[in-house]
Amino acid sequence: SQKIEQNSEALNIQEGKTATLTCNYTNYSPAYLQWYRQDPGRGPVFLLLIRENEKEKRKERLKVTFDTTLKQSLFHITASQPADSATYLCALANSGYALNFGKGTSLLVTP
């Protein structure tokens, strides 16, 4: 069956360090993968999209990698800040228009 796995345990890091979150998938051949941020009780907010033919994408302090051989995407936040504390979701689609989400990883950045 198809699975999208993100670390269920919360990630606690110190301010200023780099946070790395993992998204692994099985039985998908995703055309693209998206990362979202979600704060408690609020809707997800889109962060980055990376396509199957792209290895890496950057946006300000964010970096996403996409390894279709390992079936994994890594999401990095450099110089993390307490304001980065949230749940981060990965989502992918084989092709087309049905987007499937992982359960998310909670990130806590402490001063």
Please identify, using beta-carbon distances, which residue of 75 and 80 lies nearer to other proteins: 75
- 105: CB partners within 8 A, 6+ apart: 6, 7, 8, 9, 10, 11, 21, 22, 87, 88
- Quote the Cα angle for 62-99-18, to 5°: 20
Please identify, using beta-carbon distances, which residue of 91 and 109 lies nearer to other proteins: 91
Site for other proteins in 39-98 (CB under 8 A): 41-46, 49, 51, 89, 91, 93, 95-98
Residues at the site binding other proteins, with contacts judged by CB under 8 A: 31-32, 34, 36, 41-46, 49, 51, 89, 91, 93, 95-104
